[in-house]
Chains A and B, each alone.
Chain A
Amino acid sequence: MKKLNVLFVAILALAVLAVTANAQFKIGSEVESFTLSDSNGTERTFDGLKGKNGTIVVFLSVRCPVVKAYDERLNKITEDYSAKGINVVGINSNYTETAEKIKKHTEDNYKFTVLIDKGNVIADKFSASATPEIFFFDKAGKLVYHGGIDNNKNSEEATNNYLRDALDANLAGKVIVKAETRAFGCTIKKQN
Chain B
Amino acid sequence: MTAFCLAPSVAFAQKNKTGTKKKNVVILPKITVVNGDELKNLLKSTGKPLLVNFWATWCDPCREEFPDLVKIDNDYRGKIDFITVSLDDLEDLKFVVPKFLWKMKAKMPAYFLKTVDEEKIISEISDDWQGGLPFTILYNSAGKVVYSRAGKIKTDILRAEIDKTQNSNTLETQKVSPK
Chain A contact residues, CB within 8 Å of chain B? 63, 65-66, 96, 129-131, 133, 147-148, 150-153, 157, 159-160, 162, 181-189
Contact = CB atoms under 8 A, between A and B. Distances in A.
B130 A182 contact: yes
Nearest to B60: A63
B122 A182 contact: yes
B117 A160 contact: yes
A-B complex: 4 closest residue pairs judged by Cβ atoms: A130-B132, A187-B132, A182-B131, A184-B118
A159 B116 contact: yes
Interface residues of B, number: 21
A183 B61 contact: no
Nearest to B120: A151
A160 B132 contact: no
B12 interface: no
Nearest to B87: A184
A147 B120 CA distance: 12
B119 A160 contact: yes
Interface string B44-64: 000000000000001111000
Interface in B124-157: 129-134, 150-152
Interface in B51-92: 58-61, 87
Contacts of A96: 60
Contacts of A130: 130-132, 150
Nearest to A133: B130
A183 B116 contact: no
Nearest to A153: B118
28 contacts: A63-B60, A129-B150, A130-B130, A130-B131, A130-B132, A131-B132, A133-B130, A133-B132, A147-B131, A151-B118, A160-B117, A162-B119, A182-B119, A182-B123, A182-B129, A182-B130, A182-B131, A183-B132, A184-B118, A184-B119, A184-B122, A185-B132, A185-B133, A186-B133, A187-B132, A187-B133, A187-B152, A189-B61
A184 B134 CA distance: 11
A129 B122 CA distance: 14
A44 to B, nearest CB: 26
A188 B132 contact: yes
Contact of B119 (A133, A181, A186): A181
A70 to B, nearest CB: 12
Given A129-B150, A159-B117, A182-B123, A148 B131 contact: yes
Interface string B143-179: 0000000111000000000000000000000000000
Nearest to A129: B130
B150 A187 contact: yes
A182 B58 CA distance: 19
Nearest to A69: B89
| Highest count of chain A CB atoms <10 Å: which of B61, B118, B151 | B118
A189 B60 CA distance: 10
